[in-house]
Amino acid sequence: MKAIALTRYLPIDDPKSLEDVELPTPTPAGRDLLIKVEAISVNPVDTKVRAPKDKVEASPRVLGWDAAGTVAAVGPDVTLFKVGDPVYYAGSITRPGANSEFHLVDERITGHMPVSLDFANAAALPLTTITAWEALFDRLGVAPDGGDEGKSILIVGGAGGVGSIAIQLARRLAKLTVVATASRPESADWCRQLGAQHVIDHYQDMPTQLKAIGLPQVEFVLCLNDTDTHFPAMAEAVAPQGKICSIVENAGPLEIGLLKSKSATFVWEFMFTRAMYETPDMIAQHKLLTEVARLVDAGTLRTTVGQVIGPINATNLRRAHAQLEGGRTIGKLVLAGF
């Protein structure tokens, strides 16, 4: 099968950073599905895993944790899918990625694809949707049925992949007042199109801007951009007994003591946790992806594609990585077809 892989971890402008290769087609076992991959999307985790370091892989390593395609074969223990089913998923970071013609994924972290979307639009959703859903409803404890209507959330970094779906979930399902951050007119417009009632600039004083829009404190904060830099502002902005969730690893110690007088919570979200540790509730990702497909088909949620770059090959994948590393991407970058 065709695949895009690396053996060395090089700057993305090096043609050998990601290369077209031929690999054996894998065989499904246990609860695995063999997927014929039709489209993939690229996330910051891809660029972080690929980042230059002094390491050489003994065999080609395939990255990619967002895909849509059809079930080509199933393992003997599969019960949720059959051959021919269109699916979408993010997969597991502990297994080979989806930047290949065929790919193995556990059925418990795979969802039935929205029938109203093509493969390219569906591939934009899984990783960011799982991340946003878990961050809001599992980590922050927001009620997905509107039970927290009237409360507010600050989403730091609203125009990226996770922010694009988090705004929709927070506004349309949870009925929260959504304040998103964006630093450019085009990214601010994107956040408003997705449902944010207010947009502020995370490069400016966020607490001051929140006060100016009449929301000096918010019950929930979701950090999708530079935890280290924004932590003091988020600690000031969060309401007493409020909650902050971040998906962005910190480089240095966080001043967690800033939350003590407020009895506020800080929690991490890492969407690979369930698959990595095969937690007892691993199947929750299958359920949420299937529910999100229903919400997309009902018109409640929309896909978050920012750009379809072209066919799946090393040249286009390097372009996508380079664009993501530039830090100014709106929505998701997708590649479709081999």
Nearest to 262 by CA among 282, 284, 242: 242
Answer whether 297's CB lies under 8 Å from 115's CB.
yes
- Closest to 243 measured CA to CA, from 221, 227, 269, 223: 221
Length of the chain: 338
Per residue in 29-49, pLDDT (tens digit) is 999 999 999 999 999 999 999
In the chain, which segments carry CATH 3.90.180.10?
2-126+279-336
Tens digits of per-residue pLDDT, 221-252? 999 999 999 999 999 999 999 999 999 999 89
Q: What is the pLDDT of residue 29?
A: 97
Residue 255 — pLDDT band, cuts 50, 70, 90? very high
CA distances from 125 to 40, 78, 153, 201, 272 (A): 10, 23, 22, 25, 15
Q: H/E/C letters for each residue in 189-236?
A: HHHHHHCCCEEECCCCCHHHHHHHCCCCCEEEEEECCCHHHHHHHHHH
Q: How many Cβ atoms from other residues are within 10 Å of residue 243's Cβ?
A: 21
As a whole number, mean pLDDT of residues 151-175 equals 96
Which band of pLDDT confidence, cut at 50, 70 and 90, is reported for residue 330?
Answer: confident
What are the backbone angles phi and psi of residue 270, rounded to the nearest 5°? -135, 110
Residue 307 pLDDT? 92
Instruction: Look up residue 133 and give its amino acid.
Output: W
Residue 329 has pLDDT above 90, yes or no: no
Domain 2-126+279-336 CATH (choose: 3.20.20.70, 3.90.180.10, 3.20.20.20, 3.30.1360.170): 3.90.180.10
CATH for 129-272?
3.40.50.720
Measure the CA–CA gap between 134 and 178, rounded to whole angstroms.
17
Other beta carbons less than 10 A from residue 101's beta carbon: 18
281: Cβ contacts below 8 Å, ≥ 6 apart: 274
**What does the block give as tokens for 332?**
């998701």
pLDDT band at 57 (very low <50, low <70, confident <90, very high): very high
pLDDT tier for residue 331 given thresholds of 50, 70 and 90: confident
Of the pLDDT bands very low, low, confident and very high (cuts 50, 70, 90), residue 54 is very high
Predicted pLDDT of residue 327: 82
Q: What are the pLDDT digits (tens) for 268-317?
A: 999 999 999 999 999 999 999 999 999 999 999 999 888 999 999 999 99
Neighbours of 134 (CB within 10 A): 21
Give the pLDDT confidence score for residue 328 in this predicted structure. 80
pLDDT for the residue numbered 95: 96
Which residue's entry shows tokens 């370091």? Answer: 53
| CATH 3.40.50.720 domain range(s) in the chain | 129-272
pLDDT digits (tens, 9 = 90+) for 97-126: 999 999 999 999 999 999 999 999 999 999
Read off the pLDDT band of 206 (50, 70, 90): very high
Asked if pLDDT for residue 90 goes beyond 90, the answer is: yes
